Copies of this chain bind each other. A is one copy, B any other.
């Protein structure tokens, strides 16, 4: 029997799909909540992706420690069963397009009437109402709308998306934060609430540096600066080629620069008038970068990263994702855990990054549930027996 976890006793009805919402409920499951994934016939969109193409792996990553029931929310009986479940729940989470829950007759007004302590949490691209509510939101389009793309890429190139699904996951973790805030508040008020987290809102602050620069005196700085500092006001600050890859280097002050000069065997540049101060280095940024490139290209990435680390220069190798996935340090920290997955064999999957030590622990890792694996138990609690379940299945309700 596992210790009590922070969210033990909290029940989540999880209508979420793809990345945004499921990340929020994944974190809840890992913190001990009972997360009941309610899936349409055929399974959630992400579950239906072709496993052989690898597109199924994200489903395994995001749905560990959850339970699964099938339910057709468009059927009359399905709605009734959902409302019965709502009476037993603390949280309903969803990230359908805005308006879908209302059109199903399962909006906040209906659900809060049945359960005033319910927290109804909605994730979306642009919010539940307003100018953009009918814009279809995917990670790609929110990266475009939010300005994120406009500040990523080379100055002379096109705007560039982040390869990672930054907007989906930023939305998801903010949704988790909002739900926890509402759960905490409920202890005092004994009332639930309505949560409306929009991806576009959650990535605005990430552009703090870029926004700052737009208030500055210099008007010649491009919106995108490649791998250089966003305001071109720090040097060195970039990604430099090595013999077999790239290494990132950043000097926040003259001490860091001096340390780098020692590594490079260019102690002359510690006091050289062109490079002694950050102001000078910024004015001679190309010269500084050329000197560093002459140095970094002589070594393999891991070798130079180690040299710079020992030399106390802020730096890190640019690691290819496959190398990160095998990183033993991430296993030792407890983020990655080796599991035997029925579809994928032995793989390393992520746990929650919310590490709480000497207090709460995380749930024991269970791989994602089979589709509808928990129908009998969950619906059994509503008094629905095996025969009725068979009938409901035949009728297309579950």
Contact = CB atoms under 8 A, between A and B. Distances in A.
B164 A173 contact: no
A261 to B, nearest CB: 17
A186 to B, nearest CB: 8
A210 B151 CA distance: 22
A248 B27 CA distance: 30
Contacts of A252: 138
A309 B181 contact: no
A250 B141 contact: yes
A11 interface: no
A291 interface: no
A13 interface: no
B164 A354 contact: no
B55 A233 contact: yes
B144 A319 contact: yes
Interface stretch (A56-64, A69-77, A370-378, A385-393): A56-64
Interface string A315-326: 111111111110
A195 to B, nearest CB: 5
Contacts of A212: 54-58
Interface stretch (A36-44, A81-89, A220-228, A269-277): A220-228
Contacts of A141: 248, 250, 314-316
Nearest to A136: B314
A127 interface: yes
A57, A149, A214, A332 interface centre (most CB from chain B within 10 Å): A149
A143 interface: yes
Given A183-B184, A211-B321, 20 more contacts: A19-B208, A31-B181, A53-B216, A54-B212, A61-B205, A140-B250, A143-B248, A146-B324, A147-B324, A148-B162, A150-B319, A152-B160, A162-B164, A162-B166, A169-B170, A170-B170, A197-B354, A198-B353, A201-B333, A204-B336
List the 5 closest A-B pairs by CB distance, nearest first: A193-B359, A54-B216, A151-B163, A201-B353, A180-B180
